[in-house]
Amino acid sequence: AQSVTQLGSHVSVSEGALVLLRCNYSSSVPPYLFWYVQYPNQGLQLLLKYTSAATLVKGINGFEAEFKKSETSFHLTKPSAHMSDAAEYFCAVNFGNEKLTFGTGTRLTIIP
C-alpha cells in the first residue's frame, strides 16, 4: 500500500540547533516527494521537492532534504533553526496519480 509517515507530531529545537523532521513513504512506484510549510492561519507553501534528479534537494529558507531510496525516506533538515521556522511541516507524496498524499504533519517549535 502507498503511504506517507511523519514520525513525531511535535518537535522542539533550540534556536541555532539542527532541525530534523522525518518522513518515510511506502510505494511500489518511484514517487515525487514534497515538503510544504504551513504558518499559523496561512496556506501551504512549497519548501522543496524531489523529482528524480539530485537526491539532495535544497529549498527555500535554508532547508534541504535527502532522498534515500534504500531507506524510503525524505527527511527535512536545516543546520541552524531560526525563530521564524516555527510552523507546521507536511511531507507529501505523489505516487504517479492525480493527488498528493500528505503525512500527518510535524509542528516545529523553536526554543529561544
Partner 1 sequence: EPEVTQTPSHQVTQMGQEVILRCVPISNHLYFYWYRQILGQKVEFLVSFYNNEISEKSEIFDDQFSVERPDGSNFTLKIRSTKLEDSAMYFCASSSRDRDYEQYFGPGTRLTVT
Task: Please report, as ranges, the residues that interact with partner 1 according to CB under 8 A.
Answer: 32, 34, 36, 42-46, 49, 51, 90, 92, 94, 97-105
Q: CB of 110: closest distance to partner 1 in angstroms?
A: 20
Closest CA to 102 of 2, 4, 28, 1: 4
CA distances from 112 to 8, 13, 16, 39, 104 (A): 21, 9, 9, 18, 26
When the beta carbons of 17 and 32 are compared against partner 1, the nearer one is 32
Q: CB of 85: closest distance to partner 1 in angstroms?
A: 19
Q: CB of 43: closest distance to partner 1 in angstroms?
A: 4
Contacts of 21 (CB under 8 A, 6+ apart): 6, 8, 11, 35, 75, 76, 77, 89, 91, 106, 108
Q: CB of 89: closest distance to partner 1 in angstroms?
A: 12
When the beta carbons of 7 and 44 are compared against partner 1, the nearer one is 44
When the beta carbons of 27 and 32 are compared against partner 1, the nearer one is 32
